[in-house]
């Protein structure tokens, strides 16, 4: 049968005892403090009892009263010693508790340091800088690839072409308004331009900005006059109804 005692059991037992040492010490001191507290109450009771005996025999039996006072003094001296012992035990309990807390805190900080060291074990400032440079380079390559893939799918717009297209849209809008109203602004001029193929002249209306602004104002004035005529007609009807 294998023995339970061995190097593993020996070191394991020592480690467990070392870990439980503060707790066992505190338990022992608390037990001692409890015993001293009981002794303190006992000595206080003995002092009170001897004081009662001395007072009772102070007039009738001075010898008994004097012996009671002597015992009271002895108990009082023991009580002082017990109180001092209790103070010492309480101070030791507090010291061990503080030391144990400090040890636990230090152990936790050591574990944190080991964890951080393990995390940062393969990292250096140069590696971080190189990684960031590689990322920037890859982003630049990605942008170049995206730009290369989109070449040919979009063409750069000429500003002159955009202005020309905008002018055509404005002219079409003006032509549509003239077709709807049936009237042509006076300032609109018609120019004849030769057709290269047939030699005939084609009509191209020239956009006049002043006419474009004046025309909406004329339409607005006309609408306003129509509204005023309608209001006068309604007023005449109302006057006729009141006269009846």
Q: What is the DSSP string of the chain?
A: ---S-SHHHHHHHHHHHHHHHHHHHHHHHHHHHHHHHHHHHHHHHHHHHHHHHHHHHTTT-HHHHHHHHHHHHHHHHHHHHHHHHHHHHHHHHHHHHHHHHHHHHHHHHHHHHHHHHHHSTT--HHHHHHHHHHHHHHHHHHHHHHHHHHBTTB-PPPHHHHHHHHHHHHHHHHHHHHHHH----TT-EEEEEE-TTT--EEEEEEP-HHHHHHHHHHHHHHHHHHHHHHHHHHHHHHHHHHH-
- Give residue for tokens 């002895």: 74
φ, ψ for residue 122, nearest 5 deg: -100, 15
Checking if the pLDDT of 78 tops 90, the result is yes
Residue 207, pLDDT score: 45
Q: Which stretch, 76-80, 172-176, 229-233, has highest mean pLDDT?
A: 76-80
Query: 127 falls in which pLDDT band (50, 70, 90)?
Result: confident
pLDDT at position 163: 83
Q: Which residues pair with 224 in a beta bridge?
A: none
**Model confidence pLDDT, tens digit, residues 189-241:** 444 445 544 555 444 444 444 444 444 555 556 666 666 777 677 666 666 66
Distance CA 229, CA 241 (A): 19
Mean pLDDT of 165-174: 86
Residue 10 has pLDDT above 90, yes or no: no
pLDDT band at 134 (very low <50, low <70, confident <90, very high): very high
Residue with token string 């507090």: 94
Q: Cα separation of 63 and 57, whole Å?
A: 8
State the angle between helix axes of 209-243 and 159-181 in degrees (0 to 180), rounded to the nearest 10: 30
Is pLDDT above 90 for 87? yes
Q: Write down the pLDDT at residue 244.
A: 56
- Decide if 192 contacts 182 (C-beta within 8 A): no
The yes-or-no verdict on residue 16 having pLDDT over 70 is no
Q: Decide if pLDDT at 109 tops 80.
A: yes
* pLDDT for position 91: 95
* Residue keyed to tokens 């849209």: 169
Whether 135 shows a pLDDT value over 90: the answer reads yes
């Amino acid at each position: 049968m294998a023995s339970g005692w061995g190097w593993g059991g020996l070191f394991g037992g020592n480690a467990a005892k070392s870990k439980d040492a503060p707790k066992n010490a505190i338990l022992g001191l608390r037990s001692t403090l409890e015993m001293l507290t009981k002794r303190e109450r006992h000595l206080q009771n003995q002092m009170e009892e001897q004081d009662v005996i001395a007072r009772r025999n102070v007039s009738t039996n001075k010898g008994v009263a004097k012996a009671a006072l002597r015992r009271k003094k002895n108990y009082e001296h023991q009580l002082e010693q017990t109180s001092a012992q209790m103070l010492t035990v309480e101070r030791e309990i507090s010291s061990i508790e503080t030391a144990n807390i400090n040890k636990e805190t230090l152990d936790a900080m050591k574990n944190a340091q080991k964890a951080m060291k393990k995390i940062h074990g393969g990292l250096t400032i140069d590696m971080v800088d190189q990684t960031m440079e590689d990322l920037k380079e890859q982003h630049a390559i990605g942008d170049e690839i995206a730009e290369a893939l989109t070449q040919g799918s979009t063409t750069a717009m000429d500003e002159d072409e955009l202005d020309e297209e905008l002018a055509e849209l404005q002219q079409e809008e003006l032509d549509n308004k003239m077709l709807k109203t049936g009237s042509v602004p006076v300032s609109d001029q018609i120019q004849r331009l030769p057709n290269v193929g047939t030699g005939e002249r084609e009509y191209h209306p020239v956009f006049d900005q002043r006419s474009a602004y004046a025309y909406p104002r004329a339409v607005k004035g006309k609408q306003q006059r129509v509204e005023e005529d309608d209001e006068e007609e309604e007023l005449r009807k109302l006057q006729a109804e009141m006269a009846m």
